[in-house]
Each structure stands twice: as structure tokens, then as C-alpha cells.
Copies of this chain bind each other. A is one copy, B any other.
Amino acid sequence: MPHRSGRHFLQIPGPTNVPDRVLRAIAQPTIDHRSAEFAVLAKDVLLRIRAVFNTRGPVLIFPASGTGAWEAALVNTLSPGDRVLSFETGEFARLWAELARRIGLDVEVVNTDWRSGVDPELVEGILRGDHDRAIRAVMVVHNETSTGVTSRLREIREAMDAAGHPALLLVDAVSSLGSIDLRHDEWGIDVTLSGSQKGLMLPPGLSFNAVSDRAINAHHNAKLQKSYWDWGPMLTANATGFFPYTPATNLLFGLREALTMLEEEGLEQVVARHRRLAEATRVAVRAWGLPTVCTREEEHSPVLTGVLMPEGHDADALRRVASERFNMSLGAGLGRLKGRAFRIGHLGDFNELMLAGTLCGVEMSLGLAGVPHQKGGVQAALDRLAARPDH
């Protein structure tokens, strides 16, 4: 493709803008994955990745994209016909449930309006009603990338505890890891799964399963067919710094660098930054007079904002303007939101002026696409961004 001047604004909710430090790291010469040098690398990232999940337990790394982590979480903990509880909070929750069904699980789906997260009370109610403890796992998407809604994991955990139900808690943290507060151990999550191309600031190609002791116990009895995703040989090999099959070595170089960057900034600061930039984004959206997809104040996503279009206006036409005129990618509405919503990604290696440029691009595109809106969104966001960062 011919050159378009200046940097592309990759404002989809992942893949995110990969920092050049990470890009240079993955450009290192590939090494022998059976060498001592590799073992040093692997042990290092396997250990340091734990802090991002807030876990002391093992994190498994697959050479795969996030969809593989979905599959891995299920096939390692469940058996054919097992019942799982799923909440369709959006397109990705829907797809994960579909995957579960496809591999032979009995999926109970709780529908939502796609504008709010998993309701902890509902979780408690359903589990209390599950008298014979048939439900083996609860599947929750932490941050629904298709809508911009973040489910309240801590409260969901409390609800499960209140119901006294032994189901495993399986959490999709693909677009929350490294950006939104997430505590694998403290919140009693059994499998937290994720991918490399969002908050970890890497290209796609790595996926993760952080696993609890209970999950590992479940693995021993899980009968779903598995080979590539099998935790067993992976845990064994990882113990000495190796993998049971060829890992994606160059992405591991990138992971090492990304972990260093997260440590340099500090995970708490990273989380606060995402929250701050998300607030400024919502200030702009509100000023434009457009509704966010998310309807609950405490569930707004810190990593992306889903915006609903006025009736009769096509989100994809708007996105086309942003792309053609301003060299910016915005996220499309997915599934039932196709054409009705667009998504602004504001996660990963991101800062105030990148967001400002992004919001300017959205505001101009709204005008050019003839979408009814109030001007002044950018101005409102600037006022917010210029306020003290720790406010």
C-alpha cells in the first residue's frame, strides 16, 4: 500500500499500538528453545507474568491467539456433557459459549441486553437454585470487548461464595489483563485466560491460562479431548524453563520487554492511567450527546468505550470516514451491534495526547459523516485531562 503520512491511529480495542521497544525486542534473532539461554528467558517471563495476574500460581503460555486460551480453559477442567453457566454480555461471551457447546459442554446461557455486565445477584440466585451442583463452571468475560462493559468480578466471586457453590470460576481477561484491576488469587478465580495483543502491548500470537490449585485438580479428571492445550506436559516442561513443543520464541522476547515496561510504570499506575483516560473519553462522548453502550456507571470499561449511533446512522460509514480522512482505525460494532455502535480503544501503550488526537478524529468524523451530535466533546475531555492526574 502507498505511504500515508504520519502514524496510523490504531484505536480499536486490540491489537493495540505495540510500543517500538517491544517491536525491536521481537526482532531479535530466534534462539534454540532447548538452550540454556532460552531457559533463562522462559523462567524469567513465566515468573514475572504472575504479577500481572496477581497470582502466585503458575501461568501457562501457549503459542496461539486468545481463542486458544478459551479452549484451553475448558478442555483442561471439564468433561463431555458437563454443565457450565454462561452470561451473554456481548459478542465475545456469546462466542465463548458457542465454543463450549461445540466441544460438547452443556451450556446454560443467561441473556443480557449487552449493555451491562454479569449480575452478581443473578449468579447467586442461579447457583443457589442448582441444588444438585450440576453446574461445574461459571464462565465470565471480565471486560466485554464488544460493548465496553466490565463485569464486577469481585462481587461475582462473593456471590458464588454466598451461594456456597463449588463451581469453578473461569474468567476471560483478554482485554482486561494489564489494564484493569484483576486479582486472580484474591478473587478466587480458577482460570484467568488472556492474550498478548491488548494490555500486554504485544502483537497477537501468545495466549495465557493462569490456574488455581482447584483448576489443576480439575485437570486430573477432565475428559475433554486435548493435546496442544494440555496443561500437563506444559506444567512439567515449564518447571525447568522449557515447553513441550516449540514456543513462539520471538514473542517471548517481546513479552520480556513488555513486562519490564509494566514494571517500570508500575501496575497500579497502569490501571489508574487506563481509568483516567477512559473517564476523559466518556466526558467527550457525553458532550457529543451520544449514549455509551454501557448503561451502568460502575461497569464502564477502562479500556474501550462503545458508543451507540443515533437511529438511522451507520457506524461503519463513520468508521470509514475516520479511516479514509484521518488514518484512524475504530472498532466496529459486533454481532447484534453491527452498524449500530462503534468502539474507541484506549488501552495499552497509550497516553493523553494519543487520546486527544483520537477524540479529535472522532469528533471530526462525526461531523463529516453527518452524525447528529453536539460539538465540544474534545474540549470537555481536555478540561478533564488537564485536571490533576491523581484526582
Establish whether residues A247 and B204, one from each chain, have CB atoms under 8 Å apart when the complex forms: yes
| A221 CB–B CB distance under 8 Å | no
A54 close to B (CB within 8 Å): no
Q: What is the CA–CA distance of A79 and B242 in the complex, to the nearest angstrom?
A: 32
Complex formed: what's the CA distance from A356 to B361 in Å? Answer: 8
B-contacting residues, A19-78, CB 8 Å: 20-21, 23-24, 26-35, 37, 40, 63-68, 71
Known A-B contacts A20-B20, A28-B20, A248-B203; the reply to A329 vs B10 at CB < 8 A is no
CB-based contact A354/B27 at 8 Å: no
For the complex formed, measure the closest distance between the CB of A324 and the CB atoms of chain B, giving whole angstroms. 10
Identify the closest chain B residue to A376 (Cβ): B379
Q: A29–B368 Cα gap in the complex (Å)?
A: 28
Residues from chain B with Cβ under 8 Å of A265 in the complex: 2-5
Hey, which chain B residues are within 8 Å of A351, CB to CB?
A: 4-7, 326-327
On chain B, the residues within 8 Å of A197 by CB distance are: 30, 246
Judging by beta carbons under 8 Å apart, are B2 and A332 in contact?
no
Q: Flag the segment in A115-123, A223-231, A297-305 that touches B.
A: A223-231
Closest chain B residue, CB of each to CB of A258:
B3
Can you list, as one digit per residue, whether each of A231-274 has a CB less than 8 Å from chain B (1) or not (0)? 00000000000001111111100000000110011000010010
A27 to B253, CA, bound (A): 12
* CB <8 Å contact, B29 and A20: yes
Q: Are A35 and B250 within 8 A (Cβ)?
A: no
Contacts of A1 in B (CB 8 A): 37, 40
A: contact size bracket: 35 or more
Nearest residue, chain B, Cβ from A269: B5
Rounded to whole angstroms, the CA-CA distance of A27 and B29 in the bound complex is: 12
B15 touches A32 (CB 8 A): yes
Residue in B224, B248, B356, B375 whose CB lies within 8 Å of A356: B356
| Chain B residues in 8 Å Cβ range of A389 | 325
- List residues of chain B with CB within 8 A of the CB of A6: 17, 349-354
Interface residues of A in 286-302 (CB under 8 A from B): none
Tell me whether B368 and A32 are in contact (CB under 8 A).
Answer: no
Q: Chain B residues near A368: list those with CB within 8 A.
A: 386
Cβ contact within 8 Å between B349 and A5: yes
Which among B203, B225, B261, B328 is the interface contact of A3 at CB below 8 angstroms? B261
List B contacts of A273 (CB < 8 A).
5
CA distance A11 to B247 in the complex (A): 18
Please name the 4 residue pairs, one residue from A and one from B, whose CB atoms are nearest each other, closest first. Answer: A6-B351, A357-B357, A356-B360, A205-B248
23 A-B pairs whose Cβ atoms sit less than 8 Å apart in the complex: A1-B40, A2-B264, A5-B349, A6-B350, A12-B32, A18-B30, A24-B24, A24-B28, A26-B250, A35-B329, A65-B247, A195-B246, A197-B246, A204-B248, A204-B249, A205-B250, A224-B225, A325-B352, A326-B351, A326-B352, A364-B386, A378-B378, A379-B379
Known pairs A15-B246, A63-B63, A64-B64; list 7 more (Cβ under 8 Å).
A9-B353, A23-B28, A24-B28, A30-B197, A204-B250, A352-B360, A353-B361
